[in-house]
Amino acid sequence: MNNISANNIGIANDHAAVELKNIILASSLLQDYTWVDYGCHLEDGRVDYPDYASYVVKALLKREIDVGICLCGTGIGMSMTANRYGGIRAACVWDIATAKASRKHNDANILCLGARLLDHKKVPLIVQTWLRTEFSHGRHKKRLAKLEDITASAQSTSL
Ligand code: RB5
């Protein structure tokens, strides 16, 4: 996924981010996309972020969605989970600059956001910016290849 000409966006959240997820889904800035909502919902109560990040990752790896958005209290648990899977480049982002950089330099395919840390009003523009920013290729490509090399060698090496 080198530029996000993405239409199908998977989104998941834990209990800390239900309200933020609903703001994203209702935003007029983001109505041109098709959203697949993997939960959780208000009625689910307290849940564990690794489960919900994994729903998005598995859908992305199966190409059921083009990119993913994962929300929790800080964005940290979601990004930690997602980055355990090969082929996933999850970026914990907090503003327009990090949204752009995570696409241009890192070709991030999952955007993670912290619902307890961000001004919710600013989030739809951060998401739209991320979805519209293309990967720069060039010198960044070989660095992404090194990420996958590290994943492969970490699986086969006992330190
Ligand atoms: C849930 O209380 C909280 O730990 C979670 O949303 C997230 O911030 C973890 O990284």
What is the pLDDT tens value at each position of the chain, 159 positions in all? 444 567 999 999 999 999 999 999 999 999 999 999 999 999 999 999 999 999 999 999 999 999 999 999 999 999 999 999 999 999 999 999 999 999 999 999 999 999 999 999 999 999 999 999 999 988 989 999 999 999 999 888 665
The response to whether residue 81 sits with its C-beta less than 6 Å from ligand 1 reads no
Catalytic residue among 40, 70, 72, 92: 72
Q: How far is CA 25 from CA 12, 101, 114, in A?
A: 11, 23, 16
Name which residue sits closest to atom 3 of ligand 1, judged by CA.
73
Active site residue 105: yes
Place of tokens 């190409």: 63
Q: Can you tell me the distance from the alpha carbon of 108 to that of 91, in angstroms, rounded to the nearest whole number?
A: 6
- Give pTM, 2 decimals: 0.94
